[in-house]
């Protein structure tokens, strides 16, 4: 079995670069490993669900207090900064650099003599990252007027957007530190503090809006981003410090013997950072394109896109939770040369992610008007806003599988901690497709044309990433993955029809939405079972355990 190296060649697992190779540790039993991952996934799911619910509360507060007009549009242009920063520094980018690095350091720890590789990694990398985060923050604050002009040249009140951007720019520093702590803790198998960061973040935003909204207007939401970013660091710092204090102090990595090897490691990290930065920039550019095109439409168009996207992406976020938990597992398997274990984990994660995101997409498409009405239609958010947002959300749902697959697949490309530019090229092609299709459809279909362009571009990227897996990443059986993915696709199509019929049977939006979502879930599971989808296999032990407990209870 071969995997790609930094210079484009392939080597066997035994031929991995020295900084990524470690002697295999005593393998953990499959039952213990699965049990540990199940607990971590459940913990992450609970806290992520809490963060997502609070995120909905944040958006509801924004809609209730400020509606979907020009002021909210101005804030959402500034919101582009934390959106991009979270992608680059927490969710994807920085994690792709640091999780493999910490995983390799942990794998080498047993072989270290007087130097602890983890502590050396922190002492050599954290100061550099911190200075970079601070410099980027200052640059964004100074360049806020130019950034607003580039992102949304058609805004009626650009100064409000500039003020909000300067407040949200502080998140580059706080998100960077939070992302660094998250990567280190997850590599150590500590999931509670990283999973709690969005709970703390959204509490900070909601509290600031409620306290300062009357006096500061929509600027209070931007101030809340600054407060929430600080809370993200605060909830992780104690656990991060404990992990460092338990490690034995050692010399800096640059001072260790083998300066040539250390220089190669630094060069590899610089190349990896460049590749990850380019990928995250291309990925987030889809949001830039959307807001650029929507800024020339009627007031509220950016807001409709935002609310629709936030709700529609909830299934994608849940589908990627398992991948977030298992990414350190894949990275450690690659670090010790166990490519088979990495491949099996990735194939299993892709199937589960597809199931979760598709059942969510079916529910969103079937019940979009009811969901938006129940969540947002109050205060300054009108029935017209509900209709516009729901129509956009249905179009977004068509691209959710692509979003989820991109998030899952790109982790495998960066799991070895080496630079690879194929994901950047695939994402650039998707970005170009989004821009081209969006420019042609925005005049015909307005915000729905923009959402359709997003769905097309991200789906194209997912296809390209999957096509390149066998040659440039951990090799997976692409035909097997596609065959298994077809089963939840068919189940989602049938579930959507059932959801539409169930929702149409009620006049109350709450009852219609509840009935539609229940019908979608029930039909989806039945069809998956009828199609004998392997994605249901991990649930069998859980069901059997629950059945045994109920039998004993009787």
Comparing 45-49, 65-69, 527-531, 550-554, the range with the smallest average pLDDT is: 550-554
Convert the pLDDT of each residue in 423-482 to its tens digit. Answer: 889 999 999 999 999 999 998 898 999 999 999 999 999 999 988 876 666 677 788 888
Name, in order, each residue with C-beta under 8 angstroms of 19's C-beta and a sequence gap of 6 or more: 104, 261, 264, 265, 268
What's the confidence (pLDDT) of residue 114?
55
pLDDT over threshold 80, residue 95:
no
What is the Cα–Cα distance from 62 to 75, expressed in whole angstroms?
10
State the helix-helix crossing angle for 400-413 and 447-467, rounded to 10 degrees: 40
What's the confidence (pLDDT) of residue 349?
81
Convert the pLDDT of each residue in 143-192 to its tens digit. Answer: 999 999 888 887 778 899 999 999 999 999 999 999 999 988 887 778 78
pLDDT band with cut points at 50, 70 and 90 for residue 108:
confident
Comparing 105-114, 175-184, 206-215, the range with the smallest average pLDDT is: 105-114
Determine contact, residues 328/314, Cβ cutoff 8 Å. Answer: no
What's the confidence (pLDDT) of residue 207?
95
What's the confidence (pLDDT) of residue 344?
79
Neighbour count for residue 238 (Cβ, 10 Å): 9
pLDDT over threshold 50, residue 252:
no
Determine contact, residues 59/376, Cβ cutoff 8 Å. Answer: yes
Average pLDDT, rounded, for the chain = 79
For 368: left if phi > 0, alpha if psi spans -120 to 50, otherwise beta; the answer is alpha
Comparing 59-73, 91-105, 303-317, the range with the smallest average pLDDT is: 91-105
pLDDT over threshold 90, residue 10:
no
State the helix-helix crossing angle for 301-312 and 383-397, rounded to 10 degrees: 50
What is the Cα–Cα distance from 102 to 125, expressed in whole angstroms?
11
What's the confidence (pLDDT) of residue 415?
66
pLDDT average, residue stretch 524-548: 66
What is the Cα–Cα distance from 89 to 66, expressed in whole angstroms?
29
DSSP 90: I
Convert the pLDDT of each residue in 482-494 to its tens digit. Answer: 888 889 999 999 9
| 3 state SS of 3 | strand
pLDDT over threshold 60, residue 116:
yes
pLDDT band with cut points at 50, 70 and 90 for residue 130:
very high
Share of the chain above pLDDT 70, in %: 77
């Amino acid at each position: 079995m071969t995997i790609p190296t930094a210079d484009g060649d392939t080597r066997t697992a035994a031929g991995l670069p020295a900084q990524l190779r470690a002697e295999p540790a005593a393998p953990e039993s499959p039952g213990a490993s699965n049990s540990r991952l199940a607990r971590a996934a459940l913990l992450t799911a609970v806290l992520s669900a809490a963060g997502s619910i609070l995120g909905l509360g944040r958006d509801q507060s924004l809609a209730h207090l400020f509606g979907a007009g020009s002021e909210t549009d101005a804030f959402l242009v500034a919101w582009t900064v934390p959106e991009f920063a979270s992608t680059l520094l927490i969710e994807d980018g920085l994690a792709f650099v640091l999780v493999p690095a910490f995983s390799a350091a942990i794998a080498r720890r047993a072989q270290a003599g007087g130097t602890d590789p983890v502590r050396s990694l922190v002492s050599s990398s954290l100061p550099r990252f911190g200075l970079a985060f601070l410099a980027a923050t200052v640059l964004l604050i100074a360049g806020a007027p130019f950034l607003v002009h580039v992102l949304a040249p058609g805004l009626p009140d650009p100064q409000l957007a500039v003020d909000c951007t300067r407040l949200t720019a502080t998140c580059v520093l706080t998100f960077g530190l939070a992302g660094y702590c998250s990567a280190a803790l997850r590599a150590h198998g500590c999931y509670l503090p990283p999973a709690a960061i969005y709970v703390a973040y959204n509490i900070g935003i909601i509290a600031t809006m409620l306290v300062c909204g009357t006096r500061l207007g929509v600027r209070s939401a931007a101030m809340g981003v600054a407060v929430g970013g600080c809370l993200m660091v605060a909830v992780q710092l104690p656990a991060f410090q404990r992990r460092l204090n338990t490690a034995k102090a050692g010399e800096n990595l640059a001072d260790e013997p083998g300066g040539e090897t250390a220089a190669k490691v630094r060069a590899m990290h610089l190349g990896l950072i460049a590749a990850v930065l380019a990928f995250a920039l291309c990925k987030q550019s889809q949001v830039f394109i959307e807001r650029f095109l929507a800024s020339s439409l009627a007031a509220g168009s950016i807001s409709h896109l935002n609310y629709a996207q936030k709700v529609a992406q909830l299934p994608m976020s849940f589908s990627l939770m398992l991948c977030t938990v298992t990414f350190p597992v894949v990275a450690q398997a690659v670090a010790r040369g166990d490519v088979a274990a990495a491949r099996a984990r990735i194939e299993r994660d892709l199937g589960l992610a597809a199931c979760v995101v598709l059942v969510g997409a079916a529910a969103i498409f079937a019940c979009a008007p009811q969901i938006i009405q129940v969540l947002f239609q109050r205060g300054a958010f009108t029935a017209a806003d509900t209709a516009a947002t729901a129509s956009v959300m249905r179009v977004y749902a068509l691209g959710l599988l692509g979003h989820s697959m991109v998030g899952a697949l790109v982790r495998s490309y960066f799991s070895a901690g080496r630079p690879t530019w194929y994901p950047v090229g695939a994402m650039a092609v998707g970005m170009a497709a989004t821009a081209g299709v969006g420019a042609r459809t925005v005049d015909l279909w307005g915000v729905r044309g923009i959402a359709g362009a997003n769905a097309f571009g991200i789906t194209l990227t997912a296809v390209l990433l999957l096509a390149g897996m066998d040659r440039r990443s951990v090799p997976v059986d692409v035909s097997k993955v596609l065959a298994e993915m077809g089963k939840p696709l068919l189940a989602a199509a049938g579930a959507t029809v059932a959801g539409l019929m169930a929702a149409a049977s009620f006049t109350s939006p709450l009852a219609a939405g509840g009935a539609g979502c229940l019908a979608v879930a029930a039909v989806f599971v039945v069809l998956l079972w009828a199609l004998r989808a392997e994605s249901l296999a991990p649930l069998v032990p859980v069901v059997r355990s629950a059945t045994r407990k109920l039998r004993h209870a009787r």
